[in-house]
């Protein structure tokens, strides 16, 4: 049994990638692989026995919520789920007051919502570890899953040998997080988007500064040819949770040249794999997918069904890894050997 003592950081938060050192970030991915192996081999140790964890979701979720709940159950912890409507937080009680209260009840807090500042306030005022389950700015637990998945699909290689691209709306959580994540892990990371959908300059500068320490190569460009030579092509929805549905028309116009189809995957390279944090619009089997088809004639939005459902797609391996990596974040903060 691997001794995980060196991976524990009692009391640590997971708020955004830039708060981490590259070494700590890599260690979290290593811990994820260890915990995944334990679960798969039926030798899982419970490092979170007796812990109580509250999961606050101001925005909806399938993977993140389920990953936190299953990881907690696997590890012997109990969870309380607060849905977008059923707490006083933000409406009748400030985030800070809520943080003080929840810190008296719980050993840790997960938060998903729009404002990065709110997750930062919870961390500042609760006195317990806080994990960011997605804000408009960052999606750090997703990055751990994406990175573990890329490593697993690159046998015999390390992150410094991996090239990945993100195509789409790069000014939102996924584009920004994938940029910083690649810089931290020493990857060759290319963010490919129309200029108006690039991350802010300060995020690009921060990625370049990290890349100088790690040897990563970071590129932000509007040239779709930048995907050439990618081992992995990442996509995300074109309109994120919390955005007005009126932005669809302009987003579709801006992002059509960046839609992932077989031609784009061929351009990326014969062995390129497709990744997506999910949920994805790749067919007409969703309400939104159907509406977009009726209004704009698009069958599949950010990715064609051929790519999503084809042999290059590793999206369900990626989704499974949300469980193992979120478990690692929880164990790092709260684990008892």
Q: Which positions are annotated as active-site residues?
A: 112, 139, 142, 236, 277, 322
Interaction of residue 313 with ligand CP, rule CB under 6 A = no
> Locate tokens 């164990």: which residue?
331
Interaction of residue 174 with ligand NVA, rule CB under 6 A = yes
Alpha carbons 261 and 19: distance in angstroms, whole number:
35
Alpha carbons 301 and 168: distance in angstroms, whole number:
11
Given the complex with ligand CP, which of 15 and 226 has the nearer CB atom? 15
Alpha carbons 186 and 256: distance in angstroms, whole number:
30
Residue from the set 13, 16, 36, 63 that interacts with ligand CP by CB under 6 A: 63
Interaction of residue 173 with ligand CP, rule CB under 6 A = no
The candidate with the shortest Cα–Cα distance to 239, out of 307, 171, 139, 308, is: 171
**b/e string for 185-205 if b means 16 or more Cβ within 10 A?**
bbbbbbbbbbeebbbeeebbe
Residue 242: CB minimum distance to ligand NVA, A: 7
Contact region with ligand NVA (CB under 6 A), list: 2-10, 166-174, 223-231, 316-324: 166-174
- Please choose which of ligand CP, ligand NVA, none residue 247 contacts, taking the beta carbon within 5 to 8 angstroms, the exact cut-off set by kind: none
Interaction of residue 87 with ligand CP, rule CB under 6 A = no
Residue from the set 61, 135, 165, 230 that interacts with ligand CP by CB under 6 A: 61
Site string for ligand NVA, 121-150 (x = CB under 6 A): -------------x----------------
Alpha carbons 199 and 173: distance in angstroms, whole number:
9
- Please choose which of ligand NVA, ligand CP, none residue 250 contacts, taking the beta carbon within 5 to 8 angstroms, the exact cut-off set by kind: none
Asked if omega into 12 is within 30° of 0 (cis), the reply is: no
The candidate with the shortest Cα–Cα distance to 232, out of 190, 197, 203, 261, is: 190
Residue from the set 142, 149, 240, 325 that interacts with ligand CP by CB under 6 A: 142
Interaction of residue 326 with ligand CP, rule CB under 6 A = no
- Please choose which of ligand NVA, ligand CP, none residue 62 contacts, taking the beta carbon within 5 to 8 angstroms, the exact cut-off set by kind: ligand CP
Given the complex with ligand NVA, which of 15 and 26 has the nearer CB atom? 15
Interaction of residue 62 with ligand CP, rule CB under 6 A = yes
Q: Are 179 and 170 in contact (CB under 8 A)?
A: yes
Alpha carbons 329 and 71: distance in angstroms, whole number:
10
Taking CB under 6 A as the criterion, which residues in 194-253 touch ligand NVA?
236-237, 240-241
Q: How far is CA 128 from CA 54, 141, 193, 314, in A?
A: 11, 18, 38, 35
Alpha carbons 253 and 99: distance in angstroms, whole number:
42
| Nearest residue relative to ligand NVA (C-beta) | 240
Binding site for ligand NVA (CB under 6 A): 134, 172-174, 236-237, 240-241, 277
Given the rule CB under 6 A, which residues bind ligand CP? 61-64, 134, 142, 277-278
């Amino acid at each position: 049994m691997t001794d995980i003592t060196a991976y524990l950081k009692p009391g640590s938060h997971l708020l955004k990638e830039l708060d981490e050192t590259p070494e700590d970030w890599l260690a979290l991915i290593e811990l994820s692989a260890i915990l995944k192996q334990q679960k798969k081999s039926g030798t899982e140790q419970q490092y979170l026995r007796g812990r109580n964890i509250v999961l606050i979701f101001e925005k909806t979720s399938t993977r993140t919520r389920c990953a936190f709940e299953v990881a907690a159950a696997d590890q012997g912890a109990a969870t309380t789920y607060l849905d977008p409507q059923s707490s006083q937080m933000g409406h009748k009680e400030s985030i800070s007051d809520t943080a003080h209260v929840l810190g008296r009840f719980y050993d840790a807090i997960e938060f998903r919502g729009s404002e990065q500042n709110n997750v930062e306030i919870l961390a500042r005022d609760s006195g317990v570890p806080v994990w960011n389950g997605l804000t408009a700015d960052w999606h750090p637990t997703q990055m751990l899953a994406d990175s573990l998945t890329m490593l697993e699909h690159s046998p015999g290689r390390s992150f410094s040998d991996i090239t990945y691209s993100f195509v789409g709306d790069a000014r939102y959580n996924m584009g920004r997080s994938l940029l910083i994540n690649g810089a931290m892990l020493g990857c060759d990371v290319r963010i490919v988007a129309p200029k108006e959908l690039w991350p802010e300059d300060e995020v690009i500068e921060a990625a370049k500064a990290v890349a100088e320490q790690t040897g990563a190569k970071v590129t932000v460009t509007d040239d779709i040819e930048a995907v050439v030579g990618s081992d992995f092509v990442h996509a995300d929805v074109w309109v994120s949770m919390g955005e007005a549905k009126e932005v669809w028309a302009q987003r579709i116009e801006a992002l059509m040249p960046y839609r992932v189809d077989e031609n784009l995957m061929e351009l990326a390279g014969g062995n390129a794999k497709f990744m997506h944090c999910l949920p994805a619009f790749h067919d007409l089997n969703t309400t939104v997918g159907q509406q977009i088809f009726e209004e704009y004639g698009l069958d599949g939005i950010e990715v064609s069904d051929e790519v999503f459902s084809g042999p290059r797609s590793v999206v369900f391996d990626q989704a499974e890894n949300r469980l193992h990596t979120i478990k690692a974040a929880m164990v790092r903060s709260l684990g008892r050997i």
